Structure 1
Amino acid sequence: MTQPDILCIGSVLWDIIGRSPTAMRLGSDVPGRITRLPGGVAMNIAMTLRRFGLVPGLLTTVGRDAEGDELVAACARMGMITDHIYRSEDLPTDRYMAIEGANGLIAAIADAHSLEASGDKILRPLADARLGSAAAPWAGLIALDGNLTEALLAQIAASPLFAAADLRVAPASPGKAERLTPLLAHPRATLYVNLEEASILCATEFHSAPEAAAGLLARGAHRVLVTHGGAVCAEGTRGAGVISDSPLPVLVTRITGAGDTFMAAHIVAERRGAARAPALASALRAAATYVSGEIGS
């Protein structure tokens, strides 16, 4: 079996996205396109990693239903390692549904109940020697998403199974940002958040990404990256301060998955040896290319 370059832990599901070139409001009924693609935070990160040539291993829950079989097959075709996915007999495959208009994301619902219900079953390969154990924990990169329950994230924060890992952590959405609190001060964690999520984690309203990065470091974070749409974004490291950069101005054609693309591109840049500023610039370029629609989903 091929050893993964990175583990992606979290949601792997079907993204059902309705997009319209028209600006929308509550009650809008407009023409557009509806797509169904593999998605979820962990999956979006894994897809970007594959585009950059890395081999991700997926730790998630997928049902033993027809949708689940189709999803696992799609992941395998893309070159991801699916051997360690927990396949539930009684839980359905998760789904995410979003509506996007010319004026941005209108609404979204994430149905990740099966992932939440599975709990630490998805982590078994890290404990039973397939990928590691408490005595010899996984020592590589891990991309961890906030669709896991707060209890499981707290367990991960204290677990010896993650003691040697390079943890890269992202909330699934602003509504789930508080779940990351147990990992905020983890000495091996890098947090990737947007301005709203940073404000929620610190219970303070920030007005810029550099301000938010400094605020998170003050709250105990060791390393953070804060995005702010098309405005200035920032990276903060304990003891090294905050740096910032601006994304390229592009015509935005899609939003869902942009943050995950940013995170994956930053991981790849650092894995290739890029220093702080070039790694941030590389991630911003990749995210701009993604939202402009110049690369496939």
Structure 2
Amino acid sequence: MEPKNKEDLPNENVPEVNFDEDDKNNKSRIAIGVLAVLLVASLIYIVFSVKARNDLEEKEQLTQQELVETSARLEAISIELDQKIEEIEKLGGDVEELKLAKEQVEQEKEQLRRSSNVQISRLRQRVQGYETLLKNKDEEIAHLKEVNETLLTENTELKTQQNEMQATLSTLEEDKGKLEEQVAHAARLKAENIRVYAVNKRGKEREGEFKGRQIEKLKMAFGIEENDVAPIEGKDIMVRIIEPEGNVLFDVATGSGTFMVDGKEEFYTAKQEILFDNTRQQLTFLYEKPSEFSPGNYTLEIYTDDYLMGSKNFTVK
């Protein structure tokens, strides 16, 4: 069948459309877009990964620095604790709390040396607690020093008072000793009216100078002065007759003996025991020498206890 007209016939000069080529172009554009998206995503991932790694490294560096600083603070706290313990002990304060803190600090230091896996925030809190404790102890030390200074002042005043009292007591003791010495000296008995007589064979007495051949016996008489200070008590009264040559007339058969004077043993010629009653007692001694008295100056000494009561010189021609 032939076409109705020319217009209904296909135009041989119109080019044909290639649908396969368009599809290929579209696919290429899509692939390029996907690749671009992937590239951008990769870049974003790389950027964030680098940033995250940098942040992690910075955080690790910061944590390590904090650990070093905290370790140094722990070491300083340990040293300061030792100083505070020593200082408070000297001031007489209680150091049990500080010693416990010292043990805990040493445990923290040991744990820090053995492991880096430490909660830095917890450790910082512990360090702050130790530092607060040390600050409080500074206040306690200041208070203890104030108390000790007060006690020192009071102690110094007490020592001053004690020294003053001791000086007063020493003065009183010295005065007492002087007084006792004065009393003892005042209580010494004294002989009065000392007389020496030569008694011949007929019993006649002669005073003054006399010849040796006229002496059968020596009579010595004296009184004891009144003394209200001397106590009423028994006394030994000793007489010593000293020859011109310095020897003491001594004869055990007639009652001679020895006594102590100023720590030295001395001879006495005769002795009597009396009760001193402060009545101005009168005493008489008779001494008969076995042989004739040598001419010269003689001395009669009268003693009681360890002191001299009086003396008298006489001469034998």
User: TM-score, with normalisation over the residues of structure 2?
Assistant: 0.17
Q: Which has the larger radius of gyration?
A: 2
User: TM-score, with normalisation over the residues of structure 1?
Assistant: 0.18
Flag the structure with higher helix content.
Answer: 2
